[in-house]
Amino acid sequence: MEIDKKVLQVLNITKKFGDGCPVCRENKEILIKNYCPHCQTIYACRNISFDLYEGEILGVVGESGSGKSTFVQCLYFDQKATNGEAYLSNYKGGRTNALEVSNQEKRYIKDYIMGMVYQNPFLGLKMNFSAISNVAEKLIAGGSRNVGNIKEISNNLLDIVNIENFRRNDNPSDFSGGMQQRLQIAKALSNNPPILFLDEVTTGLDLSVQANVLDLIKKIQRDLKISMVIVSHDLGVIKMLADRTLVMLNGEIIESGLTDQILEDPQHAYTQQLVHSLL
């Protein structure tokens, strides 16, 4: 029997805004959601641990403010985790905590091993560069030098995400929301990263555009066998895409398992409420 290969192991990622106080350090029960009323510290996420396997889509669902973006941004080094470890099988044999390496090493990991599609396209795209330059720039960061190759690969990626030829020299500031997200996906895929993070990739798009972006993600995952972490507050999105799911509430994972199982037999009261609201 072939055992699934782990591409990422995450251990106890915690991010707090504020120093904490003796009261909240000793007793998390006193927190109001993620907030300490004594010292105003916000525990944005706490002890987030999970494994990500080759070729799987892991969903992360939870209400607004539950800490989803925070832990993904810690993993992508956009925020510094207060605590935690992350091991990438494609980086030093999975033996080095990637959260502790130098900025130069982090840059390397971002250019070759992980891709990110941000909730806010302004974080993922240079709005005053053409669409094709956005993709080309990422390829160059990943070491491509041959102009002909860069053009060809960029155009192939833009084909994959269905951005028409005649729009490729336009700036993403002139694109619709769905096009911006598709361009972010093309950019994130440019150096064939084994891992892709997608944060609320369809939030704010109208339903037909949402469906179109979700289909695209499914197709990419099937064709390229990338491992993905998909964050959404919409359980419908998670249901459509994710093999396994983590449910977050107030900064913590409160339930995890196969998506089908969670949908059929949710254990935690919050998850039950989520599942019922989907029916």
Q: Which is nearer to Mg ion, 72 or 263 (CB)?
A: 72
What ranges in the chain are assigned the alpha helix state H?
22-26, 68-75, 103-112, 121-124, 131-141, 147-160, 177-189, 207-224, 235-241, 259-264, 269-278
136 binds Zn ion (CB under 5 A): no
Q: Which is nearer to Mg ion, 74 or 131 (CB)?
A: 74
Minimal distance, residue 38 CB to Zn ion, in Å: 4
- Looking at residues 17 to 76 of the shown chain, list those that interact with Zn ion (rule: CB under 5 A): 21, 24, 36, 38-39, 41
* Interface residue with Mg ion, options 14, 69, 180, 181 (CB under 5 A): 69
Rounded Cα distance, 196 and 75, in Å: 11
Minimal distance, residue 58 CB to ligand ATP, in Å: 15
Q: Which is nearer to ligand ATP, 42 or 101 (CB)?
A: 42
Bridge partner residues of 230 (DSSP): 59, 198
3-class state of residue 143 by DSSP: coil
- Looking at residues 112 to 131 of the shown chain, list those that interact with ligand ATP (rule: CB under 6 A): 119
17 binds ligand ATP (CB under 6 A): yes
3-class state of residue 207 by DSSP: helix
Phi, psi angles (nearest 5°) of residue 151: -60, -45
Minimal distance, residue 65 CB to Mg ion, in Å: 8
Amino acid identity, position 143: G
Rounded Cα distance, 219 and 189, in Å: 13
- Contact string (CB under 6 A) for ligand ATP, positions 64-83, x = contact: xxxxxxx-------------
**Contacting residues toward ligand ATP, per CB under 6 A:** 17, 34, 42, 44, 62, 64-70, 119, 200, 233
